[in-house]
Structure 1
Amino acid sequence: MKPNVLHMIDSFEQGGSERTAIQLVRQLHESGRCRVRLACLQNKGTLREKADRLNLGEIPEYPLTSFYDRNFVTQLRRLGRFLKENEIDVIHTHDFYTNIFGMTAAALARVRARVAYKGETGGFRTPAQKRLERGAFRLAHRVVANSDAVRRQLLREGVPAAKVAQHYNGLDIKRVQIQSDVTRGEILNMLALPERRLVTIVANLQHPVKDHPTFLQAAARVRAAVPDAAFVIAGEGKLMADLRELAAQLGLKDDVFFIGRCEKVAELLSVSDVCALSSTAEGFSNAILEYMAAARPAVVTDVGGAREAVTEGETGYIVPAGDYVQMAARMIELLRDPKRARSMGERGRILVEAKFSCEQHLHKTLELYDELTVRPAATAQPDVALMPR
């Protein structure tokens, strides 16, 4: 019998975890192997249109204001009723907030298979948030880690090894493919970018952990060595004004292009010569996979699962976090040797297709659901002794 599966996401904004979740929901629905439902904490964002096209039925919203107020209890009761009325067999959450809310409600409703998710290492959560998350993981039957780096982090935090399932995010290659008849000049005009050699970073400007200042400091050194280089920052967030000011202080006012949230990622990457990641912490960066799938060489910081994707010197370069001098040197090297840059990019594309496809992500997810829904009930229980009372 097909299991009834509920996926829960924070919102429909264009974040990496949200895109990956909607992609997985679509694939599960199209597979016919389970009956899929979707719920959210915030009913906002441009991905809602894609979710609606799946015709999954009502997408309930459970707005939270705190984990400690009366509203949290009210929303738990609402979700509990939904889980029971729809006979949900598997709940699968996709981020910090849905982990805590979804695992708590599902444990109270005695959902037989509870799957949480971890897609980040250090640098994102306060000690209080980490305690809450550990409690949610105790209520889960499995915690999906999106890289081996995250898996190791979970083990260090005390999550039992048998409870952790490591699944790489799958990338839909179509996301970075463009029409073959579109020219570079047309794309540059569409994105309002100059006819220069472009170094691009795709990362939100919301959290300091993305460390755009290191990217900008590297850009200043690259600009001095490669006069026709320009730099593109794709993303939006509260740090935008500060980063613009820093770019001006570094003498890059006319060389750095802040293009905001980019709906034309494939087109942007197609005209980029080198791509970068400057984060001080990550789980497994979707941006790196997109760079590689678009056949672009990547210069990335040595954080999270970067080494699981980028092969040093073959598909890109890995530099220490915060080391703008080495980051700049690698960027300059690639800009000065476009033939080698293209070769590295092509090897990256081949690697993504072989190792990080969305089909593999779907296969591993279905295997996990089968394991959790057909095994004897006694082996399914989370660590009840550690549940909060």
Structure 2
Amino acid sequence: MKPRVLHLLGNLYTTGGSERQAAQLAQMLHQSSRFEVFVACLDPSGNWGEELKRIGIIHVPSFKFYSFFSFTFLKKLVRFVVYLRKQKIDIVHTHDFYTNVFGMIGSWLAGIKGRIASKRETDGLRTKAQRFVENQSYRLANRIVVNGEAVQKHLVEAGINQDKIVKVYNGLNLDRVTHQLDIDEVEQLLNLPLANGYRYVTILANLLYPVKDHPTFLRAAQITRQAVSDARFVIAGEGPLKEEMMALSRDLGLDSDVYFLGPCRNVAELLSVSEVCVLSSKAEVFSNAILEYMGAGRPVVATNVGGASEVIVEGRTGYLVESGDYETMAARIIDLLKNPDRANEMGQSGRQIVQQKFSCEAQLEATERLYERLLAKKNQRVIRQIEVEID
């Protein structure tokens, strides 16, 4: 019988970067057939349920609760323990704060020997109490998967045993960013004027939080527009800061030069018509947007925060600038727009790096190795126990 792995997800949405990574990994593991994959969630809301049914994962149990301090939490935890034992799960793999806490407690109570938590951010939005609770859950984990050096360093500084931490980079499905349509179809999908020779500088970043620092992008755009007359700028993302950013673009004299696309469901098409791609964040752990830019063969100008320097090779696949330095950001964008051959070389180099190191295949291979090592240790313990009983 194949080893049984349960992936516990927060919900079944695949629109956010972290959610998409977890869903993608579970789906790839199922398709590779080396493990029998189960999926459970804390909240059944989302669009991924139908896709799971299509690939043969029919039953996705939900363990919804509203507070760790409620009777419902205890009730669902008991139900989760019973489920794990009934299905004879070998490994439980959780993916975010709530699933880490619920899943590590439940799998420990169920006697599951393979317990894997995940950490994809550095607590910027967590309360002190939440950080404490999550750190306690890590003590129950055999391994903690992180997606970059910044998170690894953060956990070690928080007192987590370094031997438990395993780095597995985010994986990009290259098909998501490379399929092509003709120019008329792309223009219709994106609602962008493409026939007039404009060259687009693009940022993929939701307008939810100030940390994405769209003002730095817009101020760099103002300088770039003055130096490159056919440059235009695209912000793909939605959120409550949209009106504020639209007002800023008007104040900067860019009202007819910046296109706010809203949530972008046609990433490949947008990147195919982008000359340069930008990330302006003040903080970032490991940017899926950078992987998408590079996977599409586009040169990148990004702030040197979080894991950006783990992906971007300075001067080879793009440029790193300091957070908030819109003048240097503009200079780098202008350089790439004025030197298209260099920009193309950088884009192709970036794509090669993604294929080698950050593809979904590389992520799958690293995860399967992790599972196999955990199972091997479990089997060694069983053998030693049998030998002791025989003696």
Superposed, 1:230-379 pairs within 5 Å as 230-376=232-378
Structure scoring higher RCO (CA < 8 A, sep ≥ 6) equals 1
Check the 8 A contact 2:189/2:266 in 1, yes or no. Answer: no
Q: Which structure's CA Rg is the greater one?
A: 2
Partner of 1:50: 51
Does 271-280 or 199-208 show the bigger shift? Answer: 199-208
Matched letter for residue 39 of structure 2: L
Matched letter for residue 243 of structure 1: M
Partner of 2:214: 212
Matched letter for residue 100 of structure 2: N
TM-score normalised according to structure 2 size: 0.91
CA distance in 2, matches of 1:207, 1:62: 29
> Cα offset for 1:377?
7.4
CA distance in 1, matches of 2:223, 2:69: 48
Partner of 1:188: 187
Change (3 A) 1:54 1:178: same
TM-score normalised according to structure 1 size: 0.92
Partner of 1:7: 7
CA distance in 2, matches of 1:221, 1:128: 44
- Deviations along 1:60-107, whole A, 9 cap, x unmatched? 222232222233223222322221221211111112221122112222
Does 187-196 or 284-293 show the bigger shift? Answer: 187-196
Aligned residue for 2:372, secondary structure, equals helix
Partner of 1:168: 169
Determine if the alignment matches structure 1 residue 221 to structure 2 residue 230.
Answer: no
Aligned residue for 1:259, secondary structure, equals strand
Aligned residue for 1:289, secondary structure, equals helix
> Cα offset for 1:291?
0.5
Q: Which runs of 4+ in 1 moved over 6 A?
A: 377-380
> Cα offset for 1:273?
0.6
Superposed, 1:96-115 pairs within 5 Å as 96-115=97-116
CA distance in 2, matches of 1:231, 1:250: 13
Cα RMSD, aligned residues only: 1.9
Partner of 2:146: 145
> Cα offset for 1:185?
4.3
Matched letter for residue 9 of structure 1: L
Task: Give the gaps of 5 or more residues in structure 2.
Answer: 383-391
Check the 8 A contact 1:22/1:51 in 2, yes or no. Answer: no
Question: When the two structures are aligned, how many residues end up with a matched partner?
Answer: 378
> Cα offset for 1:376?
4.4
Aligned residue for 1:209, secondary structure, equals helix
- Deviations along 1:113-168, whole A, 9 cap, x unmatched? 11011112353323222112211211111000111222222211211111000111
> Cα offset for 1:290?
0.8
> Cα offset for 1:335?
1.3
Check the 8 A contact 1:116/1:143 in 2, yes or no. Answer: yes
Does 142-151 or 369-378 show the bigger shift? Answer: 369-378
CA distance in 2, matches of 1:68, 1:376: 33
Aligned residue for 2:353, secondary structure, equals helix
Task: Give the gaps of 5 or more residues in structure 1.
Answer: 381-389
Check the 8 A contact 1:14/1:45 in 2, yes or no. Answer: no
Check the 8 A contact 1:200/1:234 in 2, yes or no. Answer: yes
Identity score, percent: 50
